[in-house]
A and B are shown apart, each in its own frame.
Chain A
């Protein structure tokens, strides 16, 4: 099966700033096109007795939507982000402690879960927490003609037949997290994964560049 990756792979303009908040131990803002998410990490700190895990740190993730109280959809997203972060973090190095990650949606213009994952990864990096690998979020939309659009805007998501979001790890480029909407064939799934893996390379390069840019001033 030939996958024509290059022609379909376009990502919107990315932007990232780390350490922009003074109170959290690590913070970042991540911008993908018009989607924007602000993340803050606190910890390792003391943990509530009922949430204590004896051999690793307890991670809490909270996602605040742009307006209104968080609903069921946010809870499902929180679960996805939390379990992805738990797999990447070496939380056994901080047993019986708590880590909390707060994500504030600044603007939603599609690919929001991917943007949340990227902001989370940059914030964890900024907090200096030990991680086994990095991860990034990629959203693919399959439009009515079967074309794959990476990093779609809200309008593109609305017009598409299926929307798939993956988290890809930096070590082996494999799928850590996946949530999908709409129906699609196995072949389309494999293509989307291949496209996301290609896109992840670009995103990890972006991570590298933005961290390099940040430390080039201090070193």
Chain B
């Protein structure tokens, strides 16, 4: 009976739960799904991480390449993020060139990297004007069940923490780069931007961490990204119905607590993968 009701009137079905301050999957309105994290899942990448938020699964692999720095910023390396939503992850995505959502997500991740200054560009520079690192961060969604942006950011930050780059020196005699594979070091991650996504139902009810179904029924979406100093890096709300100031403030407070939770998770996982001595 309930299944029939859900199929025929999905919005009414959700409303009847929201009225009782809970959601069809048993969560409260302000509750995130279980987040699990696995670091170093891809052995051939320089850094990688697999994140699951409920059913949503996102994997991030980072590849470091040597390149000459851009002429306008000769002392900075750079990061190139790319978000891929293959047809594998949901029936809503078709094969072919990346759709609007994938492109918007890529731009969002690029904006967060730039706004939060996750890594100082200078740290990626090997020799000014000559050689620097480029980090290609490929983020791929394996299972799409809503809240893609949060998962992408957790995957990105954890994978960056996992990156180990070999030491590179430019030899004086030959003027060529020499890569010392035996000496590897971690990156210096300056900031940990973590996002929290919200969906607005019927212009007034705000729920966190929406599933794909809740996303499609909601009237607006919003993602708040904060760093560990409680500063906002991004407040991304691509349209939809308007939100009052108080609701916005609630969302920001929730995002700040979420940041603490996720930072703790990332730290625990990093500690657990460190080789025991």
Please give the residue numbers on chain A whose beta carbons come within 8 Å of chain B beta carbons, in ascending order: 72-73, 75-76, 78-87, 162, 164, 167, 169, 172, 174-186, 189-190, 193
Q: B130 in the interface, Cβ–Cβ < 8 Å?
A: no
Return the contact of B242 from the options A72, A169, A183, A186 (Cβ within 8 A): A169
Query: CB distance A76 to B103 under 8 Å?
Result: yes
The answer to whether B219 and A87 touch across the interface, beta carbons within 8 angstroms, is yes
Mind listing 15 A-B residue pairs with CB under 8 Å? A73-B107, A75-B107, A86-B240, A162-B115, A167-B239, A175-B242, A176-B237, A176-B239, A178-B236, A179-B238, A180-B233, A183-B117, A186-B230, A186-B232, A186-B249
Among A82, A177, A181, the residue within 8 A (CB) of B237 is A177
B236 touches A179 (CB 8 A): yes
Q: How far is the CB of B222 from chain A (nearest CB, A)?
A: 8
Give residues 91-125 of B contacting A (CB, 8 Å). 100-101, 103-104, 106-108, 110-111, 114-117
CB < 8 Å neighbour of A181 from B111, B219, B239: B111
B210 to chain A, nearest CB (A): 15
Q: How far is the CA of A179 from the CA of B149 in the complex (A)?
A: 14
Q: Are A178 and B252 in contact (CB under 8 A)?
A: no
Chain B contributes a number of interface residues (CB within 8 A of A) equal to 36
| A185–B231 alpha-carbon span in the complex (Å) | 5
The CA of A87 and the CA of B101, in the complex, are separated in Å by 18
* Complex CA–CA separation, A177 to B104 (angstroms): 15
Could you say which of B101, B115, B222 contacts A183, with CB atoms under 8 Å apart? B115
* Contact in complex: B114, A185 (CB < 8 Å): no
- Chain B minimum-CB-distance residue to A163: B115
List residues of chain B with CB within 8 A of the CB of A81: 239
CA A190 to CA B141, docked complex, whole Å: 34
Asked whether any CB of chain A lies closer than 8 Å to the CB of B161, the reply is no
For B103, the closest partner residue in chain A by CB is A75
Q: Determine the distance from Cα of A79 to Cα of B239 in the docked complex, in whole angstroms.
A: 8
Given the complex of chains A and B, what is the CA–CA distance between A162 and B242 in angstroms? 22
The answer to whether A175 and B248 have CB atoms under 8 Å apart is: yes
Interface of B is mostly: mixed
Chain B residue nearest to A176 in the complex (CB): B242
* Interface membership of B26, Cβ < 8 A: no
The minimal Cβ–Cβ distance linking B203 to chain A, given in whole angstroms, is 9
Nearest-neighbor residue (CB-CB) of B233 within chain A: A183
Closest to B252 in A: A186
| In the complex, B79 has a CB within 8 A of chain A | no
B121 CB to closest chain A CB (Å) equals 15
Binary A-proximity of B202-237 (CB < 8 A = 1, otherwise 0) = 000000000000000001101000010011111111
Q: Other than the known A84-B240, A179-B237, A183-B232, what 17 A-B pairs have Cβ atoms closer than 8 Å?
A: A72-B106, A76-B108, A79-B238, A80-B238, A82-B239, A83-B238, A86-B240, A87-B242, A162-B115, A172-B244, A177-B238, A179-B235, A179-B236, A180-B115, A185-B230, A186-B232, A189-B235
Q: Are B242 and A174 in contact (CB under 8 A)?
A: yes
Contacts of A193 in B (CB 8 A): 245, 248
Given the complex of chains A and B, what is the CA–CA distance between A188 and B102 in angstroms? 30
A164 to B252, CA, bound (A): 16
User: CA separation between A72 and B235, bound complex, in Å?
Assistant: 19
A79 touches B104 (CB 8 A): yes
Contact flag A177-B231 (CB < 8 Å), given A76-B108, A186-B252: no
- Residues of B contacting A80 in the complex (Cβ-Cβ under 8 angstroms): 238-239
Contact partner of B235 among A85, A167, A178, CB < 8 A? A178
B106, B108, B111, B239: which contacts A83 (Cβ < 8 A)? B239
From residue A194, how far is it (CB to closest CB) to chain B in Å? 9
